[in-house]
Amino acid sequence: MSESKPENQLDKKESASKSHEAEVEANPLADDLVGELVRRFGESYVIKSGMVGGVPSIQVDAQQFVTVHAYLKQHPNWQLNYQSCYTGVDYGEELEVVSYVRSSSLLHMVCLKTRVSKESPRLPTLTTVHPGANWEEREMFDLLGIEFAGHPDLRRIMLWEGYAGHPLRKDFVEPQEESYGPST
Amino acid sequence: MVHRLESALQAGERMEEMLLNVGPQHPSTHGVLRMLVRARGETIVDAEPVIGYLHRGTEKLAENLQYTQIIPYTDRLDYLASMLNNYAFCHTVETALGLEVPERAEYLRVIVMELQRVASHLLFVGAYLLDLGALSPFLYVFQERERIVQLFNRICGARLTYNYMRIGGVKADAPSGWLEDVRDFLPFMRERIEMYDRLITGNEIFLNRVRGIGVFDTKTALEYGISGINLRSTGFRWDLRKQQPYSLYDRFDFQIPVGQHGDCFDRYYLHLLEMRESLCIVEQALEQMPKDGPVIGKVPKMIRVPAGEYYTSIEGARGEIGFYIVADGKDKPYRMKIRKPSFVNLQLIPELLRGQSLSNLIAILGAVDIVLGEVDA
C-alpha cells in the first residue's frame, strides 16, 4: 500500500501543476519571479514554476537552492528576508524541500522548492542565508532523512539518537511495541 | 597549594567550566524543556536547548486522520491557546476548499480567539513573575483566567482542549446570556490589567531583573524567523492580523504595540498592552455581530481537499502559527506541516544566553514565552 500511494500522488501532482500553468499568466508576481531568475541565472535554472495555493512557486536544482534564497533575499525588488515555513515532503522516488519566504517590507510571499532523490537526499544548508533554518533542517534530517551539507549541528532533534528510520517518509514502518526506547 | 588557590579566588578567577543541566523536570522551563548550560563561574559560555520530550508526532498522526479529526490534535499543540490553533488549521482547510464561513460564526471565532489571547498572555504574566520569584501574581492571574475558561466551558464544554472550531464554522452557537457575560467581563478585565500595571510594571526589583536583559535587534529577529511579541519587542511592527488580514480583522480598529529596546521588559509589557487591544477587538466584535444566523457553512459531510498545496498562517499568541497541507484529493492530508512559533523562537535562546549571568537564564527563557506542547508537537 505504501508503494502505490506515492506514485499515485506523483501523477496527481503532475496534473495539478499542469492545471496551474494557466494561472501563471494571470499573476504578475509569479511572472516577475520566473523572469527575474531566468534573467539572472539563465533559462535552465527554473525547473518548474506555477502557483501553489495562491502563492507563486518555483522549483530549482538542489545545488542552486541556497543561491536563489541568497539572491532573492538581497534583491531590492524581492527582499525575501523572512522564512515563514520550511519543510520537506516525501513523494515516493523523490523528497521535496519547500520553503515559504516572505518580505517583511514588501509583504509578498514566495514558495521556493527543490527536489532530491531518495537514494542520496543531500543538499546544501540554508542556515548561511536564514540562520533560523537550523532547527527546521534538523527536524527534516530527523523525520525525513534529508542531509544538509554544511549544517552547523546536524543531529536528530525530536527523536533519540539511534532511532531506526524516518517517520515522515511514506515507506516508514512503525516499529513493534518492544523495540521502542533508546537503543543504548 | 593553599596560597595559589587563595590568590586565584581573590582575583575572582574560576578557570574550570561547569556543565549544568536544567530540566527537563523543572518548573521554570515551562514544560519538559531541558537546557544544557556550559558556565565559567557564573557566566554562561554556551547553552543548548534539548527538546523532543513531548514529541507525539502530530504531523505523522495527521496523515492517517480525516480533516475534521485533526482539529482536536491541534488543541494539544499550544495548549494555552487552543482556540488559535483550531482556527489556524480550519483556516487553511477553508482556504483550500474556498469555503464561505457564516458571519456570526466568524464573529464568534474572533471573540473566542481574542479571549484566548488574553488568557494566554495572562498566564505568561503570572508564570513569568513566578519565574522571577514573585509567587502572588501567579495566583492572581488564575482568577481572571478562570472567568475566561468558564466562558469557554459554557460555549464548548471544555476547559483546556476546546475543539470548538469546525471546518466552515464553529461547533455551536453561544448559549443564551453568554455574549452578555463576555460584555460584563471586559470592564472587569480592563480594571485588572490596570492593577497589574500598577503592581508590576513600576516595581524596582522586577525592573532590575528584566531591563536590558536578553536584548536582540530586528535584523537578528528576522533572520531567525522570530515572530509574535518577540519580534515586536524589537520595535518592528509586524502582526499578521494587520499585515495579512485574515478572518474579520480588517473590520476592527486596534493598535499593534511595539517595544523599543528588544529586552525582557519590553516583552513583558507588550503582553499587557496586547491584552488591552484584544479586549478592544472583542468589544467591537460584540457590537458588530449579527443577532442571529447560522454558525456553520454548507460543508460536505466528507471533506475532501482538492489536490494541491496550501499554506496559510495566523497571528497566534506566540507568533505565526501556520499550517502547510499537501492534499491529494482524499479525505486525509498527504502531508501536514505545522509552523510552530515556539519552536522557531526557541532557537534564539543560545544566542541570547551567551555571556549572560546564570541568574538571567530563567529571566530570558521565560520572556521568550514558549509552550513545549507546541515546540515538540
Q: How far apart are CA A129 and CA A70, in angstroms?
A: 6
Domain count for chain B, please give it.
1
Count CA within 13 A, CB hemisphere, residue A123.
29
Give the closest-approach CA distance of B306 to chain A in angstroms. 9
Q: How far apart are CA A131 and CA A175, in angstroms?
A: 34
Q: Whole-angstrom Cα distance, residue A34 to residue B29? A: 46
Give chain B's end-to-end CA distance (angstroms, integer).
Answer: 53
pLDDT at A184: 53
B137 domain residue, yes or no: yes
Q: Do residues B335 and B70 lie in contact, with contact meaning Cβ atoms separated by under 8 Å? A: no
> Is the CB of B376 less than 8 angstroms away from the CB of A158?
yes
Output phi, psi for B50, to 5 deg.
-115, 120
Q: Nearest CA of chain A to the CA of B325: how many Å?
A: 10
Residue B354 lies in a domain: no
User: How much of chain B is in helix, strand and coil states, percent to nearest 5?
Assistant: 50, 15, 35
Domain assignment of residue B184, yes or no:
yes
Q: A131 and B223 in contact by Cβ < 8 A?
A: yes
The stretches in chain A having pLDDT less than 50 are: 1-26
Please report, for chain A, the start and end positions of each structural domain, with discontinuous segments joined by +.
4-124
Q: Is pLDDT at B2 greater than 60 in this prediction?
A: no
Q: Please report residues of A whose CB lies closer than 8 A to that of B244.
A: 107
pLDDT of residue A13: 40
Q: Each residue of B238-249: pLDDT tens digit? A: 999 988 888 889
Q: Could you tell me if B265 and B200 are in contact, meaning their C-beta atoms sit under 8 angstroms apart?
A: no
Q: Establish if B43 belongs to a structural domain.
A: no
B222 → closest Cβ in A15, A104, A159: A104
With beta carbons under 8 A apart, name residues in chain A contacting B57: 158, 167
Q: Residues with Cβ < 8 Å from A175, sequence gap 6 or more?
A: A164, A165
* Percent of chain B clearing pLDDT 70 (strictly above): 95
Strands A55-60 and A94-102, sheet pairing: unpaired
Q: Which of B54, B234, B242, B324 to mutate to test the interface with A (most CBs of A within 10 A)?
A: B324
Counting one residue from A and one from B, how many pairs have CB atoms under 8 Å apart?
A: 94
For residue A79, what pLDDT is reported? 86
Average pLDDT over every residue of B134-149: 90
**Minimal Cα distance from A106: which residue of B?**
B243
pLDDT of residue B135: 87
For the cut 80, the answer to whether the pLDDT of residue B12 exceeds it is no
pLDDT the model gives residue B15 = 64
Nearest CA in chain B to A160: B52
Q: What is the pLDDT of residue B190?
A: 93
Domain assignment present for B42: no
Between chains, do B60 and A167 touch, taking CB under 8 Å as contact?
Answer: yes
The domain that contains B133 carries what CATH number?
1.10.645.10
Inter-chain residue contact A160 with B59, CB threshold 8 Å = no
The mean predicted confidence, pLDDT, of chain B is 89
The CATH architecture annotation of domain A4-124 reads 2-Layer Sandwich (3.30)
Query: Which residue has cell 464561513?
Result: B101
- Cα atoms found within 13 Å of the Cα of residue B298, Cβ hemisphere only: 0
**Percent of all residues in chain B with a pLDDT value above 90, rounded to a whole number:** 47
Q: Do the domain assignments include residue B122?
A: yes
Mean pLDDT (whole number) for B48-57 = 89
Contact across the interface for B223 and A53, Cβ inside 8 Å: no
d(CA B341, CA B318): 6
Cis previous bond, B24, omega within 30:
yes
pLDDT of residue B27: 65
Q: In what order do the strands lie in the sheet with B43-50?
A: B17-22, B34-40, B43-50
Give which of A153, A158, A166 to mutate to test B binding, by max B Cβ within 10 Å: A158
Contact B224 A132 (CB under 8 A): yes
Which of B24-33, B39-48, B269-278, B366-375 shows the lowest per-residue confidence on average (mean pLDDT)?
B24-33
Most B CBs within 10 Å, among A1, A5, A7, A12, to test the B interface: A12
Closest partner CB to A81 (pick from B222, B226, B308): B222
Residue B23 lies in a domain: no
SS3 track for B77-91? CCCCCHHHHHHHHHH
Q: Convert the pLDDT of each residue in B112-130 to its tens digit.
A: 999 999 999 999 999 999 8
At CB < 8 Å, which residues of chain A contact B?
8-9, 12-13, 15-16, 20, 52-55, 81-85, 87, 89-90, 98, 100, 104, 107, 111, 130-136, 143, 156-160, 167-168
Nearest to A130 among B223, B243, B310 (CB): B223
Partner residue opposite B52 with nearest CB, options A15, A53, A158 = A158
What are the chain B neighbours of A54 within 8 Å (beta carbons)? Answer: 95
Q: In terms of residue numbers, what domain contains B320?
A: 57-200+212-345
Residues of B in contact with A100 (CB under 8 A): 311, 322, 324
Contacts A160 to B, Cβ<8 Å: 52
* B51: in domain: no
Q: Do B324 and A8 touch (CB under 8 A)?
A: no
Per-residue pLDDT tens digits for B309-321: 999 999 999 999 9
Cβ neighbours for A91, distance < 8 A, ≥ 6 positions apart: A6, A9, A10, A13, A115
Tell me the shortest Cα–Cα distance from B103 to chain A, in angstroms: 24
